[in-house]
């Protein structure tokens, strides 16, 4: 059994407008996930510094970031990052270029976790429905060009307000969505912008939204999670 999670951390700025990366780490520790996809994990301008300094992750959590190496001070790429347990082995990993009007990308990592090989894709899709669908197609194409039979989980902020159409239909042709629930806005969740989906060679055993007191103030999104087995 693996516990997956996705979390838009809003550059560690909470609903109280305070930047507190240590609060994000507290939420991550509460989640107790094995693999986490983060969105808005880096600052938007300048050298794109990590919103969570890596030394804080090292000292106060059981996670390590997948080293994409896009920028020296960044945690990920275009704000997307993947965290894994420190004892997991990271295999092939890549930054996926996506079609967009503004800078957008996705990240991919193949990980050996608890004796299983799993591929994780983290993403933060466009506000425009047209560009979201183009980005979904690009991600699916990237994954199709890799080892087809490797169990794959795709996670992130899809920015899709509809229930079944748009990019959800594109991803749903190849994946099963976890019934995580509404995660945005953290103060009064009304939308399922954040999603976890897996290939049919995995089974979702449980799923939900993490609604702790810390999570309600740490970001404008609540983290979502899913427990899967092979």
**Predicted confidence (pLDDT) per residue in 183-211, tens digit:** 999 999 999 999 999 999 999 999 999 99
pLDDT of residue 185: 97
CB atoms within 10 A of CB 148: 9
pLDDT of residue 221: 98
What's the average model confidence in pLDDT over 162-182? 95
pLDDT of residue 46: 64
**In 17-80, at which residue ranges do the beta strands (DSSP E only) sit?**
35-39, 63-65
pLDDT tens per residue across span 2-30: 999 999 999 999 999 999 999 999 999 99
- Name which of 48, 67, 66, 179 is nearest 120 in CA terms: 66
pLDDT tens per residue across span 64-95: 999 998 777 899 999 999 999 999 999 999 99
pLDDT tens per residue across span 89-130: 999 999 999 998 888 899 999 999 999 999 999 999 999 999
Q: State the alpha helices, DSSP H only, in the chain.
A: 21-31, 54-60, 129-144, 167-172, 213-218
């Amino acid at each position: 059994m693996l516990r997956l999670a996705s979390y838009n951390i809003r550059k560690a700025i909470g609903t109280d407008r305070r930047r507190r990366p240590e609060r994000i780490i507290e939420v991550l520790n509460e989640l107790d996930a094995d693999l986490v996809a983060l969105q808005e994990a880096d600052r938007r301008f300048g050298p794109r510094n990590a919103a969570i300094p890596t030394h804080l992750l090292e000292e106060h959590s059981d996670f390590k970031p997948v080293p994409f190496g896009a920028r020296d001070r960044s945690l990920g790429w275009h704000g997307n990052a993947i965290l894994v347990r420190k004892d997991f082995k990271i295999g092939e990993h890549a930054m996926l270029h996506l079609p967009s009007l503004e800078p957008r990308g996705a990240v991919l990592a193949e990980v050996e976790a608890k004796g299983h090989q799993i591929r994780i894709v983290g993403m933060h899709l466009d506000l425009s429905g047209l560009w979201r669908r183009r980005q979904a197609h690009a991600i699916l194409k990237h994954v199709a060009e890799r080892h087809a039979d490797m169990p794959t989980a795709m996670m992130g902020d899809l920015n899709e307000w509809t229930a079944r159409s748009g990019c959800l239909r594109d991803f749903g042709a190849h994946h099963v969505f976890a019934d995580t629930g509404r995660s945005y806005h953290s103060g009064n969740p009304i939308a399922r912008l954040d999603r976890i989906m897996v290939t049919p060679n995995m089974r979702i055993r449980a799923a939900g939204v993490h609604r702790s007191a810390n999570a309600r103030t740490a970001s404008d999104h609540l983290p979502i999670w899913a427990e899967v087995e092979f």
